[in-house]
Amino acid sequence: EVQLSESGGGLLQPGGSLRLSCGASGFTFNNYAMSWVRQAPGKGLEWVSAINGNGATTNYADSVKGRFTISRDNSRNTLYLQMNGLRAEDTAIYYCAKANTIFGVVDAFDVWGHGTMVTVSS
Amino acid sequence: ENVLTQSPATLSLSPGERATLSCRASQSLSSYVAWYQQKPGQAPRLLIYDASNRATGIPARFSGSGSGTEFTLTISSLEPEDFAVYYCQQRGTWPPSVTFGQGTRLEIK
Q: Which residues of B touch A35 (CB under 8 A)?
A: 98
The answer to whether the Cβ–Cβ distance between A113 and B43 falls below 8 Å is yes
The whole-angstrom distance between residue A23's C-alpha and the CA centroid of its chain comes to: 11
Q: Is the pLDDT of residue B1 over 90?
A: no
Q: Which residue has the higher pLDDT, A83 or B1?
A: A83
Q: Is the pLDDT of residue B55 over 90?
A: yes
Contacts of B97 (CB under 8 A, 6+ apart): A47, A50, A59, A61, A106, B91
Q: Which residue has the higher pLDDT, B88 or A103?
A: B88
pLDDT at B2: 84
Order across the sheet with A3-7: list the strands: A3-7, A18-25, A78-83, A68-73
pLDDT at A11: 97
pLDDT band for position B59 (50/70/90)?
very high
Each residue's pLDDT tens digit, B15-34? 999 999 999 999 887 778 99
CA–CA distances in Å: residue A77 to residues A49, A59, B48, B109 = 18, 20, 27, 45
pLDDT at B95: 82
Mean per-residue pLDDT for B61-78?
A: 96
Torsion of CA A103, A39, B65, A52, to 10 degrees: 0
CA–CA distances in Å: residue B6 to residues A73, B85, B92, B101 = 37, 11, 18, 6
Q: What is the SS3 assignment for A58?
A: strand
Q: Is the pLDDT of residue B35 over 90?
A: yes
Give A 34-73 residues with CB within 8 A of chain B.
Answer: 35, 37, 44-47, 50, 57, 59, 61
Spans of chain A below 70 pLDDT: none
B92 class by beta-carbon count within 10 Å (0-12 exposed, 13-18 middle, 19+ buried):
middle
Percent of chain B with pLDDT over 90: 84
Mean per-residue pLDDT for B32-43?
A: 96
How far is residue B69's CA from residue B30's CA, in Å, rounded to a whole number?
Answer: 8
Q: Which of B49, B92, B100 sits opposite A44 (nearest CB)?
A: B100
The answer to whether the Cβ–Cβ distance between A47 and B45 falls below 8 Å is no
